[in-house]
Amino acid sequence: MKKVERINTIMRYINNRSFFTISEIMQEFNISRSTAIRDIREIEAMGMPLQAEVGRDGGYSVMNNSVLPSIRFTDNEVKALFIAFMASRNQQLPYLKSRQSLSEKLLGLISDNQQDTLVLLNQLLLFEGTNPNNPDLLDMSDLPHPMLEKLIQLFIVDPHLLLTVEEGIARKSYPMYLLQLYREKSIWHIEGFDLKKEKRRMFPVDHLTDVKPYSTKQRVNRKMVLERLSKQVEAINLVIEFGPKAIAQFKKYHPLNFSLSYTNPYQATAILETFIHVNMPEELNDITNWLLFLGEDIKFTKVPEEVLENLRERLFFYRH
């Protein structure tokens, strides 16, 4: 580890402890006593408010009510932050409008040479969804659903929410305990526990028309919700055996809650056992598209008739 990286890491280590000794620093970072003492003195010179405690059990403590010095970024850390910004620039992420000010603040923290390097990286690297003629352009399609940030902000305060969802020509409201938001195939999805029906519900954020706090005397917590859901595990209705080509396709893309169990030491064959909702047309179509994407190197051991019928119709359409 380079000296700058080590000192930054030691500073974070110190910040998380009210008291530490030279011996602890030596063991944690695998350095000599003289190096540990030099690093501590350099950290003190940078303004870290340390107070030495003498005696047999002596060491250092961080003084209370003091302003800590800013953490310095190494060249590689700056590049990692900048490239992460670039890679996710056109990904419909929440708080997208704040990214410009974050970038400006990051640039203000680094040297001129580091800034020049970032300019070159911005010209060199193009990620999926980036307009090559204007990499800084954000199309309307790049912006997340307007409800996403509101949903996150309310969830941070309390996961008990009343969600209004557009279903066809109607709108329905669901009292939910929000479990998670996840992004799949460029679409954000809500997963939560229906507090009235006491079952799992999932739907796209794009279908959300309103969200507000839900006041209820029957409050639950995440542990209670997961325990109730564990007792409602659906019976497996889809079992697929995978060959090597299908495994390669699976690694390129698979639904979030699907996982493979490898059946040989070389991971050349595998099996998938899961449950799918055949009474939900949108999910049924997604599963059909994904099975076609896997290719011919799969074998069904168990499959709902609705899925087979959907596959037959799709294959008939392609052939004609």
Q: Kindly give the interhelix angle for 22-29 and 33-45, rounded to the nearest 10 degrees.
A: 110
Q: For a pLDDT cut of 70, what percent of the chain falls above it?
A: 88
pLDDT at 194 over 90: yes
Tokens standing for 31? 């350095």
pLDDT at 248 over 90: yes
**pLDDT tier for residue 71 given thresholds of 50, 70 and 90:** low
CA distance 182 to 99: 20
pLDDT at 238 over 60: yes
Task: Indicate the Cα dihedral angle 296, 299, 302, 305, nearest 10°.
Answer: 30
pLDDT at 181 over 70: yes
Mean pLDDT score of the chain, rounded to an integer? Answer: 83
**pLDDT (mean) for 186-206:** 89
* Statement: the pTM of the whole predicted model exceeds 0.75: no
pLDDT at 225 over 80: yes
pLDDT at 183 over 70: yes
The residue among 186, 192, 187 whose CA lies nearest residue 205 is 187
**pLDDT (mean) for 309-320:** 77
- In this predicted structure, which of 60-74, 193-207, 238-252, 255-269 has the lowest mean pLDDT? 60-74
**pLDDT (mean) for 98-120:** 79
Q: Residues 217, 160: contact at Cβ < 8 Å?
A: no
Residue 116's pLDDT is 87
pLDDT at 134 over 80: no
Residue 102's pLDDT is 75
**pLDDT tier for residue 176 given thresholds of 50, 70 and 90:** very high
- CB count within 10 Å of CB 210 equals 13
Residue 57's pLDDT is 56
> For the chain, what are the domain ranges?
3-62, 75-141, 146-230, 238-319
- CATH code of the domain made up of 146-230: 2.30.30
Q: For a pLDDT cut of 90, what percent of the chain falls above it?
A: 28
- In this predicted structure, which of 130-139, 198-207, 255-264 has the lowest mean pLDDT? 130-139
Chain segment 259-291, per-residue pLDDT in tens: 899 998 889 999 999 988 887 777 888 899 999
CA distance 187 to 181: 10
Question: Scanning the structure block, which residue is given the tokens 């030099």?
Answer: 38
Chosen CATH of 3-62 out of 3.10.180.10, 1.10.3720.10, 3.40.1360.10, 1.10.10.10: 1.10.10.10
